[in-house]
Structure 1
Amino acid sequence: MKKTIFTIVGILALNLFNSCSDDILDLKPPYEETLDDAIKTENDVNKFLLGSYLKTSSSSLYGANFFYFGDLLGDTFFRSNKHNGGFTSLVIMNYDPNNTGEISFYRSAYDAIQNTGFVINNELEDTQLNKQYKGEARFLRAINYFNLLNYYASSPKSGQFQELGVPIAGYPYNADNKIARSSVADVYKLIIEDLNYAIENTNAVPSSKIYASKTAAKLLLSRVYLTRQNQGDAQLAFNLSNEIVNNSPASFAPITNDKYENYFASNNDELAENQPETVWELDLNSQNNPGVNLSLSVFYSRTGSKKGLLAKESFYKTFESTDARRVLLTNQSVPTEDNPKGYWMKKFERASSGGNYTRNNKILRFSEAYLNRIEALYQLGNNTEALLKLNEFALSRKGNTYTGANLLSDILTERNKEFFGEGQRFLDLKRYNLPIAKGTNCPGNCDVPAGSKYFVFPYSNSQLIINELAVQHPLWK
């Protein structure tokens, strides 16, 4: 059932908007002059919407790279000395304006944003269905802008260079227009407007978790507020996450420990996909998946062709022996060349009943609502309640409890235990303007201070040549 919906529009979406340009802001959509002819019905709108989902699931976005980056730049995973699986510039943080080849998602994110524009700006009657499509497109636009901000701008908590966010691409696109960076505040304003529209207009219970929903928009918006941290944002984040925990439709619910391992590691799609724990996942199938060279399992699984990403021993030791999540780390056949040795992760296994590399990638999970609520309580200064809820969550996974002596560290530790391998660790540290202390198994840049340039990806020199308004981030000048 789930492995068919994007294949019809895949070729259309990829052919319409591919370009050899190095800079999305220098693009003119080939279809621009006849777009009115292309969108005549709501079915046409849906085709462009499915193309937007397809682009967001590409290997340079949520098909793979958004997971890698959050792990490789953090302090939990390392690349084995025995295996060279690539991403060297990320592993040792030696990227710079002359060396951005492994950072490939900037263009892809704007491709996805470009595609959502055709849905968001269609001029058909605003029926309930058309507004639903626009809501899903605005959700996709918001998550892509949010990720661009997270990696190409300084965090709001740092107080650094908030005048330089990322460009807000206009519509319709014009190849003659060069677009400067908008401020961080202006990009957040657009993201929040998009997600509020999505909350109002997407389905409460979609036919599948591969579609954006009201709950998905609420969960993402709570994360946005926790990251922006303007006055009043913590309360808004609490309200949204508390609403999800207490009043979600029955199809959204936390996973129980007895199902935790199968949810990630089973090769049976019926046990792993479209589950209540999943708030939003991206459809991967035999026609639409990163495949043997780029999929998550290629790098994380002990049977992957480019295997070599391992969790650190020190991280493994943070788990109680009873913790339900520890079973997703294994020392079976780990390389002996590493000192200390690491642990393979089983969250992204290679095979599923749909075939190799076709397991849907889980982007938003219900458990995050609990942890976002705890984080919001901390930001509100309600430390007693935050610690109580944190220990309740840890005990629900049969894990260890916390003293609260360093409550923020405790919260981020529990988040790491829940979301390791899911691309969040680096962003958790950046959100609070914290340093990265990589410790063992580190080949370079092992201690990254708060506010370092390595928390912000640079524009490539070629991009600066193409678009004279694409100002380099000051940390890289």
Structure 2
Amino acid sequence: MKKTIFTIACILSLNIFNSCSEDIIDLKPPYEEIIEDAIKSEEDVNKFLMGTYLKISSTSLYGSNFFFYGDLLGDTFFRSNKNFGGYTSLIMMNYDPINTGDINFYRSAYDVIQNANFVINNELTDSQLNKQYKAEARFLRAITYFNLLNYYAASPKSGLNQDIGVPIAVYPYNPDEKIARSSISDVYKLIVEDLNYAIENAKAETTSKIYITKTAAKLMLSRVYLTRQQNGDAQLAYNLTDDIINNSPSSFKLFTSTTKDAFKNYFSSSEDIVAENQPETIWELDMNVLNNPGVNSSLSVFYSRTGSKRGLLAKQTFYDSFGTSDVRRDLFSFTSIPVEDNPKGVWMAKHERAAQPGGNYTRNNKILRFSEAYLNRVEALYQLGKNTEALTNLNEFASLRNGSAYSGGNLLNDILSERNKEFFGEGQRFLDLKRYNLPINKGTNCPGNCDVPAGSKYFVFPFSEGQLIINPLAVQHPLW
């Protein structure tokens, strides 16, 4: 019998999920088991799957930081000179192998991957339910590897150091084994395989959007193809997004209301029934009183004008880019703007605090939205060289938000501008620029590294010295 030892302390709180058995709270220290003894039934598999969902919702991943990184490293948000501590190295892009304190998701990402591996490699009969569990786990593993590549490797578009990706965690788990970095193409190969399995075996619909579906896997795979940009990937991305738009179950559909209050409430209403489990949402994280990053770490703490560490503001120039009738313009607030900043910024109202019994927290963090299918389809058309059709589709989408039409004079810039208007505060701006190997020009409200050229080392996070001591085979990225 192969003896795979693992830690299961991370899943002790799984009774917060409705589908998880409460008997998991009976586990006793030292929380170590042999894998064959721990997974004896599909119920056991589900416990590990729920643990994987719980892990990916931690503050170092999609609970908070994956939103911050995309905003702070981009050109749309800035840190106020008032009421905000930390994240200095991200704001100024002065991180290096010694100074990586603000970059704290590497270990958590591999915790997600290892938890997913236990589900994926369970040896129970592959019933339909077991394959569904594996599909959800493979999605969670895929999106985690994708984020690791996005931050720890150069973009495929840059052509730089394509042999230096991230380590692929082996199974069975061996804590003493040192793993080298795989090539970017090999990691993408695994990601694509995982997402195709999820498309084939995940449920078409669920009662709650906190669980992975076929639609989520299709949308994520379209994002992967648009980023990898191998021959044929643009067409595959187009096929997936067109299928989502035209053939998704009725529980998924584009938010089309042109009423400002309705659009704002989707993001920031204090009522779960208004803001959560909505048709526009494809996948969101379960944030509630029990499964909650806490008063010091949730998104609302930093983004909301009432947050205890409030200080992330949108630039005035970005706010001014919205037409006066654009429904997204109402997702900003000028109440109590800090006067210490020059020029002053604008509060965002996407991650408002919502008072509930037991504490303040945001509504469920929205990770994938139906709108992305439309804008990913536009990108796919652009990558296919179908610029006229891409511009038509882009302006059709903008009109649904009462937004301004684009001329197409610089079509890629128009596409990325519309994406920024739709997904600001959702962690995508930096990744959009990196995907096309574009520079970052931060302009105002910038304390350092304000103009970052394409291909700069600051597009790639360094491994910390501690990580390299633990796993010297991983090697530092050549840019560092």
Taking structure 1 as the reference length, what is the TM-score of the superposition?
0.94
- Are 1:10 and 1:51, in contact at CA under 8 Å, matched by a contact in 2? no
CA deviations 1:86-145 (Å, max 9, x no partner) are 101101111000010110001000000000011000000000000000000000000000
The answer to whether residue 379 in structure 2 is matched with residue 375 in structure 1 is yes
Using a 3 Å threshold, how does the CA distance of structure 1 residues 442 and 286 change in structure 2: closer, same or farther? same
Q: Distance in 2 between matches of 1:186 and 1:83?
A: 43
The answer to whether residue 310 in structure 2 is matched with residue 310 in structure 1 is no
Using a 3 Å threshold, how does the CA distance of structure 1 residues 410 and 358 change in structure 2: closer, same or farther? closer
Runs of 5+ in structure 2 lacking a partner? 1-14
| Alignment-mate amino acid for residue 422 of structure 1 | E
- Are 2:333 and 2:346, in contact at CA under 8 Å, matched by a contact in 1? yes
- Are 2:299 and 2:362, in contact at CA under 8 Å, matched by a contact in 1? no
Q: Distance in 2 between matches of 1:39 and 1:115?
A: 12
What residue number does 2:51 align with? 51
Q: CA RMSD in A?
A: 1.9
Q: Distance in 1 between matches of 2:393 and 2:406?
A: 11
- Are 2:142 and 2:191, in contact at CA under 8 Å, matched by a contact in 1? yes
Runs of 5+ in structure 1 lacking a partner? 19-29
Counting matched residue pairs gives 462
| Alignment-mate amino acid for residue 114 of structure 1 | Q
**Once the 2 structures are TM-superposed, how far is the Cα of residue 356 of structure 1 from its aligned partner?**
1.3
**Secondary structure at 1:469's aligned position in 2?**
helix
Q: Distance in 1 between matches of 2:361 and 2:162?
A: 39
Kindly report which structure 2 residues correspond to 1:68-217, keeping only aligned pairs within 5 A, or say none.
68-217=68-217
What residue number does 2:473 align with? 469
**Once the 2 structures are TM-superposed, how far is the Cα of residue 84 of structure 1 from its aligned partner?**
2.5
Q: Distance in 2 between matches of 1:78 and 1:394?
A: 25
Q: Distance in 1 between matches of 2:22 and 2:85?
A: 28
- Are 1:209 and 1:274, in contact at CA under 8 Å, matched by a contact in 2? yes
Q: Residue 388 of structure 1: which of 387, 392, 396 is its match?
A: 392
CA deviations 1:269-319 (Å, max 9, x no partner) are 100000000000010111211111111000000000000000000100100
**Secondary structure at 2:361's aligned position in 1?**
coil
Q: Residue 400 of structure 1: which of 389, 398, 404 is its match?
A: 404
**Once the 2 structures are TM-superposed, how far is the Cα of residue 83 of structure 1 from its aligned partner?**
2.4
- Are 1:334 and 1:344, in contact at CA under 8 Å, matched by a contact in 2? yes
**Once the 2 structures are TM-superposed, how far is the Cα of residue 6 of structure 1 from its aligned partner?**
6.4
Q: Distance in 1 between matches of 2:28 and 2:455?
A: 40
**Secondary structure at 1:356's aligned position in 2?**
strand
| Alignment-mate amino acid for residue 285 of structure 1 | N
Using a 3 Å threshold, how does the CA distance of structure 1 residues 307 and 201 change in structure 2: closer, same or farther? same
The answer to whether residue 444 in structure 2 is matched with residue 437 in structure 1 is no
What residue number does 2:413 align with? 409
What residue number does 1:27 align with? none
**Once the 2 structures are TM-superposed, how far is the Cα of residue 470 of structure 1 from its aligned partner?**
1.3
Q: Distance in 1 between matches of 2:63 and 2:18?
A: 14
- Are 1:297 and 1:349, in contact at CA under 8 Å, matched by a contact in 2? yes
**Once the 2 structures are TM-superposed, how far is the Cα of residue 440 of structure 1 from its aligned partner?**
0.4
**Once the 2 structures are TM-superposed, how far is the Cα of residue 176 of structure 1 from its aligned partner?**
2.4
What residue number does 1:23 align with? none
**Once the 2 structures are TM-superposed, how far is the Cα of residue 16 of structure 1 from its aligned partner?**
9.7
- Are 1:6 and 1:54, in contact at CA under 8 Å, matched by a contact in 2? no
- Are 1:245 and 1:370, in contact at CA under 8 Å, matched by a contact in 2? yes
- Are 2:300 and 2:362, in contact at CA under 8 Å, matched by a contact in 1? no
Q: Distance in 2 between matches of 1:241 and 1:7?
A: 30
Using a 3 Å threshold, how does the CA distance of structure 1 residues 270 and 361 change in structure 2: closer, same or farther? same
- Are 1:49 and 1:116, in contact at CA under 8 Å, matched by a contact in 2? yes
Q: Distance in 1 between matches of 2:29 and 2:192?
A: 26
What residue number does 2:327 align with? 324
Using a 3 Å threshold, how does the CA distance of structure 1 residues 440 and 7 change in structure 2: closer, same or farther? farther
| Alignment-mate amino acid for residue 47 of structure 1 | K
Of 375-384 and 330-339, more deviation after overlay is shown by 330-339
Q: Distance in 2 between matches of 1:189 and 1:226?
A: 14
**Secondary structure at 1:410's aligned position in 2?**
helix
Q: Distance in 2 between matches of 1:222 and 1:448?
A: 27
What residue number does 1:251 align with? 251
Q: Distance in 2 between matches of 1:398 and 1:368?
A: 17
- Are 1:85 and 1:307, in contact at CA under 8 Å, matched by a contact in 2? no
- Are 2:289 and 2:356, in contact at CA under 8 Å, matched by a contact in 1? no
**Secondary structure at 2:78's aligned position in 1?**
strand
The answer to whether residue 269 in structure 2 is matched with residue 269 in structure 1 is no
Q: Distance in 2 between matches of 1:226 and 1:357?
A: 33
| Alignment-mate amino acid for residue 163 of structure 2 | E
Kindly report which structure 2 residues correspond to 1:448-467, keeping only aligned pairs within 5 A, or say none.
448-467=452-471
CA deviations 1:400-440 (Å, max 9, x no partner) are 01110000000000000000000000000000000000000
- Are 1:55 and 1:111, in contact at CA under 8 Å, matched by a contact in 2? yes
The percent identity for this pair of structures is 72
Q: Distance in 2 between matches of 1:168 and 1:221?
A: 19
Q: Distance in 1 between matches of 2:164 and 2:28?
A: 31
Q: Distance in 2 between matches of 1:11 and 1:356?
A: 28
- Are 1:394 and 1:401, in contact at CA under 8 Å, matched by a contact in 2? yes
Kindly report which structure 2 residues correspond to 1:3-82, keeping only aligned pairs within 5 A, or say none.
4-5=16-17, 31=32, 34-82=34-82
What residue number does 1:26 align with? none
| Alignment-mate amino acid for residue 264 of structure 2 | E
Q: Distance in 2 between matches of 1:16 and 1:51?
A: 17
Q: Distance in 2 between matches of 1:12 and 1:60?
A: 24
| Alignment-mate amino acid for residue 364 of structure 1 | L
| Alignment-mate amino acid for residue 281 of structure 1 | E
- Are 1:7 and 1:287, in contact at CA under 8 Å, matched by a contact in 2? no
- Are 1:85 and 1:299, in contact at CA under 8 Å, matched by a contact in 2? no
The answer to whether residue 423 in structure 2 is matched with residue 424 in structure 1 is no
Q: Distance in 2 between matches of 1:125 and 1:384?
A: 51
| Alignment-mate amino acid for residue 136 of structure 1 | E
